[in-house]
Amino acid sequence: MLPEEKVLDHGVLRIMFYSLDSYACIVAHISISVPSEHNRFSHLRTVEFMGTDRPWLNLYGNRVRPVAPFGSFSSKPYVDPALIHRCLPDELLFEVFARMRPYTLGRAACVCRKWRYTVRNPILWQNVCLKIWQSYGAEANYIIVRSLYNGSWRKMWVQRPRIRNDGLYVSRNTYIRTGVAEWKVTNPVHVVCYYRYLRFFPSGKFLYKISSQKVKEVAKCMNHASKAECVFRGDYKLTEDQVEAALLYPGMRLTVLTMRLRLRGTTMGANNRLDLLRLVTTGVNENEVNSHVDGVLGLVEGWEEDETHDPDVPAISHRRGLTPFVFVPFEEADTSVLNLPVDKMDYFVPG
């Protein structure tokens, strides 16, 4: 390139490039305002280029496939090595994606450009959104997506707090109790570890279990059909990021357990932490239970923290064992670190 300098009278240095390369012709006119005191030195070519325009920099980082010029013998049509793309028409590829869970969709978006494009189809996200937030009702969801998330279902999926239903929320609590002095052990202490398990369903029901059993054993029995002992059913309601949950313990003295939790995540969209704000057990009387059709939540709605409707069962707001819940997907139930016994991990920092 041969630059040509030309100083104009009002102190603007104009530099023009003409390329002699026959395959590419770049003509750039760069006008740099040069302070007047430098004009005298311009003949010495000491004026530095103050700004440079290098259009070829835009090509860096783009995988530009070299294309032979038109009509050349070496130009080959691009053949996609992936059989799935050559065989399946786009509609069928879309149908495959329609059968994937949202977390798989998120990972699929990172595979290649075609998949990223297909994953962005709003119908996929509309369906998963309507399913997970079904307790709000379809109409409310439509209004919310339009007003808060610009009509983008995908954005709503990532940004709006949602309770996950593909695993368990696990709260691992430990406490120390003194043990019995033995032969040489004079002041023994035991570290006791127990878990609270929560499993939520989009229909508004949840399951609760408190046990010393590890995640990998409990994961199998936390379902509706399970006749396992000590798995209790209740109702919950999610309002923005607050969860109100209540269940009724069966038995002679009717006791209701209510929890208030706050949903958050370690990253946007993860929804993998539930902070336990309040845990109250209180008494209800039998007549109320039978007459209330709204379910357990409606039964204890608006009660004070110390309110009880059965004088034999005082209202207790529990202060211990309130470690935040950590989400463990079912696939990770066996390998989760929360399975570790106390000698390997005495406390898990939920973060």
Partner 1 sequence: MAKMIKLVSGDGAEFEVEEEVAFQSKIIKDIVADADDVIPLPTVSSKVLIQVIEYCRKHAAVNSFPLSPSSSAAAAASSSSSISYSKPVSDPALRAWDNEFVKLNNSSLFDIVIAANYLDIEELVDLVLETVADRIKGKQAQEIRRQFNIENDFTPEEEEALRRENSWAFQNN
Contacts of 152 (CB under 8 A, 6+ apart): 122, 125, 145
Compute CA distances 239 → 69, 163, 244, 321, 342, whole Å: 61, 11, 8, 24, 36
Residue from the set 19, 52, 75, 104 that interacts with partner 1 by CB under 8 A:
104
Candidates 235, 238, 239, 261; CA nearest to 247 is: 235
Residue with tokens 């009660």, as numbered in its chain: 303
Binding-site member from 84, 176, 185, 192 for partner 1 (CB under 8 A): 84
Phi, psi torsion values for 32, nearest 5 degrees: -115, 130
Nearest CB to partner 1, comparing residues 126 and 308: 126
Strands 316-317 and 273-283, sheet pairing: antiparallel
- Closest distance to partner 1 from the beta carbon of 102 (Å): 8
Residues 38-67 that bind partner 1 (CB under 8 A): 61-63
Residue (95 or 312) nearer to partner 1, CB: 95
Among 98, 138, 181, 191, binds partner 1 (CB under 8 A): 98
Count of residues of this chain found to bind partner 1 when the rule CB under 8 A is applied: 59
**Euclidean distance between CA atoms 282 and 246, whole angstroms:** 11
Question: Shortest approach of partner 1 to residue 22 CB, angstroms?
Answer: 30
Q: How far is the CB of 283 from partner 1 (least distance, A)?
A: 38
Provide the minimum distance between the beta carbon of 104 and partner 1 in the complex, in angstroms, as a whole number. Answer: 5
* Site pattern 122..151 for partner 1 (x: CB under 8 A): xx--xx------------------------
Q: Provide φ and ψ at 307, rounded to 5°.
A: -85, 135
Minimum CB–partner distance for residue 138 and partner 1 (Å): 11
Residue number with CB closer to partner 1 (107 or 220): 107
Asked if 259 contacts 240 with a C-beta cutoff of 8 angstroms, the reply is no
Q: Which of residues 270-329 bind partner 1 (CB under 8 A)?
A: 270-272, 326-329
Query: Is 107 among the residues that bind partner 1 (CB under 8 A)?
Result: yes
For residue 40 the two structure tokens come to: 């005298």
Give the Cβ contact number of residue 297 at 10 Å: 19
Nearer to partner 1, 313 or 326 (CB): 326
* Alpha carbon distance 120, 163 (integer Å): 22
Residue among 122, 117, 121 at smallest CA distance from 130? 122
Applying CB under 8 A, the residues found at the interface with partner 1 are 61-63, 80-85, 87-92, 94-113, 115-116, 121-123, 126-127, 158, 265-272, 326-329, 331-332, 336-337
